Amino acid sequence: MKEKILLAGASGALGLEVLKLLHEQGKDVRALVHSADGADKVSDYTDDIWKADASEGNEIIKDITKDVSMVISTLGKSVSLFTDRGKSFMENDFYANSNILDDAKKNKVKRFLYVSIKGAEKALEYEVAKSHKMFEDALEASGLDYTIIRPVGFFSGLNDLAIMAKRKVIPIIGDGDSRTNSIHQKDLAKVVVRYLNEGPEILEVGGPLVHTRREMADMVADRIGGKVIPVPEKVAEWGMFLPEMVDDDISAKLKYFKYVTTNDMIGEKNGDITFEQYLSGLDLEKDLP
């Protein structure tokens, strides 16, 4: 009998690319998604689809790992400023994944591959990092064989800049000198699949080219239009108090956005799709609201 893989977050920007690769390799995949839209996205690649809010407790996903030999989780709350609010980072990134892990332990799953975030261990004052790190700790303590991948930002995550560019303003916080090697989600999916059977406990993954935030903002402006506007760090911090008063979700996202854009975020080089190639492939009408 073929070994079954549970892919949690299978309909996400990264999860869907992982699902396509597993499908190409003829793997038997059970997909966990949250929404009806998510279920639609994965339906070309598997018939074994669970649609549930995994943060709601163990019962709702009881035995989701039955007959499963390994779990891959790309499940998490979107970091985009332009997506719906829904649940918190703690509820999705920590509780939902913890419920899956509990089920995996009960059903004696062999291996668990978790996609966390670069900076998870350093930036614990931010909810995004803290909830990923709390799950990393739970996974390490679980006794399961595991690999944790901490990626830098995905190109899909940089769509926020492209959306702002379409609205004519591209903000960069601080001097724009911080560097990163963001990665295409297709390239990251290849890294995930490379470590299916074995891998290091933790690895930090980035894309092929390192750019400053200013260079990236300029590339977005060249492709889409809009003006690059530097926002002094102090002004950005002050601006973050305003949403905090009305919306914890936006506030958590803005704070992490400031953290990642004002610190170097560089992971081991992987893949070959460049940010410029990604931008030139965007359909400005279809891909950006």
Stretch of residues binding ligand NAP (CB under 6 A), selected from 48-56, 165-173, 206-214, 236-244: 48-56
Site string for ligand NAP, 53-92 (x = CB under 6 A): xxx------------------xxx-xx------------x
Contacting ligand NAP within 123-162 (CB under 6 A): 151, 153-154, 156-157
**At closest approach, how far in Å is the CB of 1 from ligand NAP?**
27
List the beta bridge partners of residue 172.
Answer: 230
Quick one: angle between helices 97-106 and 127-141, nearest 10? 10
User: Nearer to ligand NAP by C-beta: 2 or 196?
Assistant: 196
Site string for ligand NAP, 93-112 (x = CB under 6 A): x--x----------------
Residue 233 in contact with ligand NAP, rule: CB under 6 A: no
Q: Structure tokens of 271?
A: 């893949």
Which of 6, 19, 32, 165 contacts ligand NAP by CB under 6 A?
Answer: 32
Q: First CA to last CA across the chain, in angstroms?
A: 45
Stretch of residues binding ligand NAP (CB under 6 A), selected from 5-13, 139-147, 214-222, 249-257: 5-13
Stretch of residues binding ligand NAP (CB under 6 A), selected from 6-14, 171-179, 203-211, 225-233: 6-14
Given the DSSP bridges, would you call strands 111-115 and 179-180 parallel, antiparallel or unpaired? unpaired
Residue 38 in contact with ligand NAP, rule: CB under 6 A: yes
Residue 6 in contact with ligand NAP, rule: CB under 6 A: no
**At closest approach, how far in Å is the CB of 205 from ligand NAP?**
9
What is the edge-to-edge ordering of all strands in the sheet holding 111-115? 49-51, 28-33, 4-8, 68-73, 111-115, 145-151, 202-206, 268-269
Tell me which amino acid residue 215 is. Answer: E
| Helix, strand or coil, per DSSP, at residue 184 | coil
Neighbour count for residue 19 (Cβ, 10 Å): 27
Report d(CA 271, CA 155) in Å as an integer. 12
Which of 5, 6, 15, 187 contacts ligand NAP by CB under 6 A?
Answer: 15
| Helix, strand or coil, per DSSP, at residue 283 | coil
**At closest approach, how far in Å is the CB of 95 from ligand NAP?**
8
Report d(CA 266, CA 182) in Å as an integer. 8
Torsion angle of C-alpha atoms 140, 146, 151, 156, degrees rounded to 10: -120
User: Nearer to ligand NAP by C-beta: 153 or 176?
Assistant: 153
Report d(CA 201, CA 146) in Å as an integer. 6
User: Nearer to ligand NAP by C-beta: 50 or 239?
Assistant: 50
Nearest Cα neighbor of 63 from 75, 74, 52, 73 is: 52
List the beta bridge partners of residue 173.
Answer: 231
Which of 5, 7, 13, 109 contacts ligand NAP by CB under 6 A?
Answer: 13
Site string for ligand NAP, 242-271 (x = CB under 6 A): ------------------------------
Nearest Cα neighbor of 101 from 129, 77, 75 is: 75
Report d(CA 145, CA 110) in Å as an integer. 6
Q: Which residues bind ligand NAP (CB under 6 A)?
A: 9-15, 32-35, 38, 53-55, 74-76, 78-79, 92-93, 96, 115, 117, 151, 153-154, 156-157
